């Protein structure tokens, strides 16, 4: 086991932000899955109600949250009108609320905002959440429009995500289609095994028609995977099988100060030690985690050798493989319970999904005081990464 590392000075327990009480819906296939007829705001209300039922001691205590922030990549239609506030009202929560959009990184950004507020003493307890219905709210929004002026300055501003994956593949030709398919197959296998072992049961709520995340395919049909046509270019290497599926889902957690978590005798929690954002060229947006994680390590005077677990969002197999290579991450510590290729990627909810999987993984492995990282690439050419430490009080 790695020697426990202490990056930067820990804050006082009254201002040290921690995350715990994570809960999410099972993720369903967009347009034809179990949640296609469920409004995203209603889905998040249901999740909030379930959380209150599961954690009555917290919700009935004097430590109840002071504010709420919800991540959503396309906050319009049924997930518009400041969906955070409407959901808070629908769930009977007497708190203010705001919605934040950093596309795929929205829910992780929500956790970062809450952690900053806790650290500053502004509010010691927050609800953080993420939601996305890719069935009911179209990608890029209902009235997407490109600016000719912006395109004159930055031609790839509005590039499609599939095309960015192909451009990453062009930069890393040795990361072949065969390697991408092997990575995708491992994602499905790991997710299936995690569900079979009951590792997701404690923090995932399934609708009556589901027993697990709907996109998980097991056993993997390697022949069918190899026979698929490229999804984004006729001469490309990225297929539907090596891309995250469009999905519906919601996620939530509590961000409080450490004193509150200890007072409530929470069995384990993640200290939120640091978060970074970074940018890359929009046409290789999948590489966003590389500068974000490099900055995270440098700011905390640690290296990848000090990291026990990594959750790296699988927008596409090619970008994860390229990020692993660039960052020299041991593959054995990445997404060991499956990733978005298998689990699904409801954009605004995925950042918290990574954090809760990271917490559960490290908890199951008994990685007391060890460090973990959750990171996502973000459309438009961004990366976001959070450094956490597992604590057993």
Catalytic annotation present for 323:
no
Catalytic annotation present for 174:
no
Hey, what's the torsion of the CAs at 168, 173, 179, 185, to 10 degrees? 20
Quick count: other Cβ atoms within 10 Å of Cβ 17? 26
Quick count: other Cβ atoms within 10 Å of Cβ 296? 26
Catalytic residue among 51, 63, 72, 104: 104
Residues pairing with 67 in the sheet: 126
DSSP string, 27-94: PEETTTSTTTTS-HHHHHHHHHHHHHHH-HHHHTSTT--SEEEEE-SS--GGG-SSHHHHHHHHTT--
- Percent helix, strand and coil across the chain, each to the nearest 5: 40, 20, 40
Q: Residue 160 gets which letter from DSSP?
A: -
Q: Of 71, 143, 148, 79, nearest to 114 (Cα)? A: 71
164 to each of 104, 156, 246, 326, how far by Cα in Å? Answer: 15, 9, 17, 17
Quick count: other Cβ atoms within 10 Å of Cβ 344? 28
Catalytic residue among 63, 188, 203, 345: 345
Q: Residue 2 gets which letter from DSSP?
A: P
8 to each of 11, 84, 374, 377, 387, how far by Cα in Å? Answer: 9, 33, 18, 25, 11
Catalytic annotation present for 377:
yes
Assigned token pair, 150: 């912006």
Collect all residues with Cβ–Cβ distance below 8 Å to 12 and sequence separation of at least 6: none
Catalytic residue among 72, 323, 377, 388: 377
- Give me the active site residues, please: 104, 345, 377
């Amino acid at each position: 086991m790695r020697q426990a590392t202490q990056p930067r000075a820990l804050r006082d327990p009254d201002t040290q932000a921690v995350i715990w009480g994570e809960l999410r819906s099972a993720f369903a296939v967009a347009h034809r899955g179990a949640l296609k007829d469920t409004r995203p705001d209603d889905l998040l209300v249901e999740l909030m109600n379930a959380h209150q039922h599961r954690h009555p001691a917290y919700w009935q205590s004097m430590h109840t949250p002071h504010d709420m922030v919800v991540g959503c990549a396309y906050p319009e239609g049924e997930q518009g009108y400041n969906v955070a506030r409407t959901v808070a009202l629908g769930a009977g929560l007497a708190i203010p609320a705001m919605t934040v959009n950093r596309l795929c990184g929205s829910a992780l950004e929500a956790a970062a905002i809450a952690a900053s507020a806790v650290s500053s003493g502004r509010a010691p307890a927050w609800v953080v959440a993420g939601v996305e219905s890719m069935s009911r709210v179209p990608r890029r929004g209902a009235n997407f429009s490109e600016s000719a002026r912006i395109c004159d300055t930055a031609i790839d501003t509005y590039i499609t995500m599939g095309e960015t994956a192909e451009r990453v593949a062009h930069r890393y030709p040795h990361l072949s289609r065969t390697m991408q398919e092997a990575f995708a197959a491992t994602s499905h296998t790991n997710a299936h095994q995690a569900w079979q072992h009951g590792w997701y049961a404690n923090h995932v709520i399934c609708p009556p028609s589901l027993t697990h995340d709907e996109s998980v395919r097991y056993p993997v049909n390697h022949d069918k995977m190899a026979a698929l046509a490229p999804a984004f270019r006729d001469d490309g290497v990225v297929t539907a099988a090596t891309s995250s599926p469009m999905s519906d889902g919601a996620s939530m957690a509590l961000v409080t100060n450490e004193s509150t978590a200890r007072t409530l005798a929470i069995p384990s929690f993640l200290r939120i030690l640091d978060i970074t954002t970074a940018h890359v060229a929009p046409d290789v947006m999948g590489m966003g985690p590389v500068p974000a994680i490099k900055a995270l390590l440098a700011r905390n005077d640690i290296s990848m050798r000090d990291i026990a677990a990594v959750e790296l969002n699988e927008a596409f197999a090619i970008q994860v493989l390229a990020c692993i290579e660039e960052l020299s991450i041991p593959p054995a510590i990445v997404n060991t319970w499956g990733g978005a290729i298998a689990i699904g990627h409801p954009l605004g909810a995925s950042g918290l999904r990574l954090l809760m999987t990271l917490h559960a993984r490290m908890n199951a492995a008994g990685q007391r005081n060890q460090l973990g990282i959750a990171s996502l690439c973000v459309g438009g050419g961004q990366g976001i990464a959070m450094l956490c430490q597992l604590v057993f009080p």
